[in-house]
Amino acid sequence: MKFRDGMWLTAEGMRVEYAEDVHDITQTEKGLSLLCPTRKIQRRGDTLNLSTLTIDIEAAYDGIISVETTHWDGAVRKGPHFDLFPGGQPNAEPKVVKSEKGTTLSSGSIAATIHPDEHTFDIKFHSADGSRYLTSLLGRSVGLAYSPAPSNPLQTGDMRDFKHYIFTQTGLSVGESVHGLGERFGAFNKVGQSVALWNADGGTSSDQAYKNVSFWLSSKGYGVFIDTPGRVELEIGSERCTRVQTSVEGQRLKWYIIYGPTPKDVLRRYSVLTGKPGKVPSWSFGLWLSTSFTTNYDEATVNSFLEGMKERDTQVDVFHYDCFWMKAFKWTDFVFDSDRFPDPKAQIARLKASGLVKKVCVWINPYIAQHGAAFKHATEKGYLLKRKNGDIWQWDLWQAGMGLVDFTNPEAVEWYVECLNGLFDKGVDCIKTDFGERVPTLDVQWFDKSVDPHKMHNYYAFLYNKVVYEALQKRYGDEEAVLFARSACAGTQRFPLVWGGDCESTPEAMAESVRGGLGLGLCGYSFWSNDIGGFEGYPAPWIYKRWVAFGLLCSHSRLHGSGSYRVPWTIDNDDKSEEGCSRTLSRWTALKARLMPYLFSQAAKAVNSGLPLSLRAMCVEFPEDPTSWYLDRQFMIGDSLLAAPVFEESGEVEFYLPRGKWTSFFTNEVREGPGWFKEEHGFGSLPLFVRENTVLVLGNPEARSAVYDYAQDVEVCLYQIREGASADLVDSNGEPLGSILVGSNGELQGKDLLKGIWTKGNNGRKVDELFFKTIKSL
């Protein structure tokens, strides 16, 4: 939303009024309240016939200050509201000091200072010790706007024909970059972009996003969380080049500024504010195989897939039944198609007993098709969203005559959970919660009449995933619940995990997916996946194999397509060579299994700190390196592994190594950064480097599943270590076992934790000589 036409003019059809003065500062229990007229008050008469804006600046938590701008305070505060501080709000200790520098409110490590000069609108945000400037609200940076512009103030007595907006503009420093705002597939640095936070089913190749998260991270050591689930419009250096403008329709706009100084500090505090990611079980890290979307399948098809994978030395830990486990025109009625699956409970039991798969997932959504029995029942009971005239809200987009589950109705929630429990009774272990983006805002009446339909649009994703996640927790335990969700908003990181939506089967789409995963990770999501090989279309064998390498280095890995299968032998006519799809998938699945001692211990750290496990943007680990804020084709896996996917058929790839010594995982060759490097890779490798001073514990080389004994028959690999380097060990249930520590003489401490026949490599791991032939430096 742009309110101006260049620097000098107001946008056509708009009336804009700015806070021009800080007329009065009142100290409150939590901070400061500023009375800000929209003209400079030079005499008493200036106080008449004008609008004012109230800016409440409050201490929320150590390192966090909230800023709320209000025009008309009598406006009803309709919900839904984000569930903030879900773990309990820590004590905030506001401190107000007046000096020649102005009036300063401190909240632990962050402070806001209001300029002391009369008729000067200037609010600076900085570290409490004064060592670090963050951003400012300067002149003409806070305001209200009408559209269309009223020609007479009397017209605002009836607001039905007007839209009213509140906006703020925080300053952008020279060289500052902005990141996050959910799973966005465009440029990683958002400066120069107009961004609308509005969930949409738009694929991965547009400016729409399935997961709009109202949080952004600055390269200057702070983040901003916008506290509304409604539509938010941002102009990030795109209306005024030196400012980030945030606007909402309504009478209030509230946001929190979160100080670091590092990205890890910002994300840790953000996770306290909006919720820490949930933990996920070890089995979920294994390979997931899907039937794909519109493919034709039955029990025999499923068995042939899993038996074919086993024959090709690839273990599937989770098998996923997509849409057509139910009959056409009846999604979602929670009833297996009896023609294809006459006894689903027995079939699922047979699958698990065979050892072909550990867990089973099924696809659902909150859209209830008219022709299924569920629709009739939900309609009679009042469980579906209604129009204002009492009709069930319906349309024919996606499913014929579909309705939408009204999760603001507690009885509808109970019914939906009963349906889920019916699936759990059949042996279903986890749920793919698809869709939830196309939520209507016009001519609808929610069961909870206190909610604003526009705010429900994005927030619906939170309610939907919360209901399913908590049902899984109740059945299987708090740390065994797993979703595979597509839609999200702020706070949904509490209900892992998510995947990246409908991408094409192209290298460009794989790069889009990388950018999406990086951006979402900077919004507090620890776990993320994508459709290996691409969803739409038919991947060429080389794309499939490059995507396999990338996908198996994400926290979670799933083979899934649209109208075609993603089992490897269908991609390349069952090429059985070492460079074929089947062997490539087998090698990368085995590698991820070997990495599980590292991945699962790193996952615990990520959850505790609100960090992405993988994809972790380079700037999280190397914020002092300016280049790290622009790297969108590589990522960290936890603290110590760096990966750069290959996007070229030739195998050529260019990547950046930050300062320090980096060891190739595949060859033990040591490179020193900072610098750019080029390599050429076969399908069995990509640039995967281990950070110096790393103790990397690799699991049993015979492991193929993600679940095994992570302390048995391991390889302890030392990479440019110094005294005190360590690695935490956990078991496959996530229980801490202890730490492996490098002592003063280079000897390992904590060896008693290791079982069986274990080995130690002082200069990296035992490598396959083949990689010296298939990896070339360019």
- What are the sequence ranges of the domains in the chain? 4-73+88-160, 282-609, 618-777
Q: From the candidates 502, 531, 536, 572, which is the catalytic residue? A: 502
Tokens of 414: 């109970």
**pLDDT for the residue numbered 166:** 98
Query: Which pLDDT belongs to residue 24?
Result: 96
**SS3 at position 432:** strand
Query: Is the model's pLDDT at 745 over the cut of 90?
Result: no
CATH 3.40.50.1460 fits 4-73+88-160, yes or no: no
Sheet holding 24-27, edge to edge: 24-27, 31-37, 52-61, 64-70, 252-259, 222-226, 212-218, 178-182
CATH superfamily of 282-609: Glycosidases (3.20.20.80)
User: 744 pLDDT exceeds 90?
Assistant: no
**Displacement of CA 630 from its chain's centroid (Å):** 19
Q: What is the mean pLDDT of residues 18-25?
A: 96
pLDDT at position 109 is 98
pLDDT in tens, 497-510: 999 999 999 999 99
The mean of the pLDDT values for the chain is 97
Question: Could you write out the three-class secondary structure of 348-372?
Answer: HHHHHHHCCCCEEEEEECCEECCCC
Contacts of 55 (CB under 8 A, 6+ apart): 19, 33, 34, 36, 67, 68, 69, 70, 123, 142
13 pLDDT above the threshold of 90: yes
pLDDT classification of 252: cutoffs 50, 70, 90: very high
Summarize the confidence of residues 555-574 as an average pLDDT. Answer: 97
* 142 SS3 class: strand
**CB of 108 within 8 A of CB of 61?**
yes
Q: CA-based angle 182:183:185, to the nearest 5?
A: 130
The DSSP code for 751 is: G
Question: Tens digit of pLDDT for each residue in 358-371?
Answer: 999 999 999 999 99
pLDDT surpassing 90 at residue 654: yes
Strands 759-761 and 715-719: parallel
Tell me the pairing of strands 318-321 and 287-290.
parallel
**Residue 468: helix, strand or coil by DSSP?**
helix
DSSP 81-105: ----STT-PPPP-EEEEEETTEEEE
pLDDT, tens digit, for every residue of 104-114? 999 999 999 99
Buried (b) or exposed (e) across 511-548, using 16+ Cβ within 10 A? bbbbbbbbbbbbbbbbbbbbbbbbbbbebbbbbbbbbb
434 has catalytic annotation: yes
Cβ neighbours around 756 below 10 Å, total: 10
φ, ψ at 270 (rounded to 5°): -60, -35
Residue 437 has pLDDT above 90, yes or no: yes
Q: What is the model's pLDDT at position 148?
A: 97
CA distance 392 to 386: 4
Q: What local confidence, expressed as pLDDT, does residue 339 receive?
A: 95
Element (H, E) at 547: helix 541-551
Same fold, 4-73+88-160 and 618-777: yes
Residue 714 confidence (pLDDT) above 90: yes
Angle of CA points 578, 582, 583, to nearest 5°: 35
Other CB atoms closer than 10 Å to residue 313's CB: what's the count?
14
Q: Is the pLDDT at 746 greater than 90, yes or no?
A: no
Beta strand extents in 38-152 (DSSP E only): 52-61, 64-70, 94-99, 102-107, 110-114, 123-127, 133-137, 142-147
pLDDT for the residue numbered 582:
98
What pLDDT, on a 0 to 100 scale, did the predictor assign at position 486? 98
C-alpha to C-alpha distance for 520 and 504, rounded to whole angstroms:
19
Q: CA separation (Å) from 180 to 260, 601, 616, 617? A: 16, 25, 12, 10
Query: Which residue matches tokens 């460009």?
Result: 508
Partnered with residue 379 across adjacent β-strands are none
Would you state the pLDDT for residue 480?
Answer: 97
126 pLDDT band (50/70/90 cuts)? Answer: very high
Report the range of poorest mean pLDDT among 135-149, 481-495, 742-756: 742-756
Q: Tell me which DSSP letter residue 614 carries.
A: B
Answer whether the bond into residue 615 is a cis peptide, omega within 30°: yes
**231, pLDDT greater than 90:** yes
Instruction: Check residue 337 and give its pLDDT.
Output: 96
Indicate the DSSP class of residue 738: E
List the catalytic residue out of 20, 429, 434, 504: 434
In terms of C-beta density within 10 A (0-12 exposed, 13-18 middle, 19 or more buried), how is residue 375 classed? buried
Q: Are 605 and 508 within 8 A, CB to CB?
A: no
DSSP state of 199: B
From the candidates 20, 183, 333, 437, give the one annotated as an active-site residue: 437
What CATH number was assigned to the domain covering residues 618-777? 2.60.40.1180
Query: For residue 580, what are the contacts with CB-CB under 8 A and spacing of at least 6?
Result: 541, 568, 572, 574
Percent of the chain residues past pLDDT 90, beyond the cut: 99
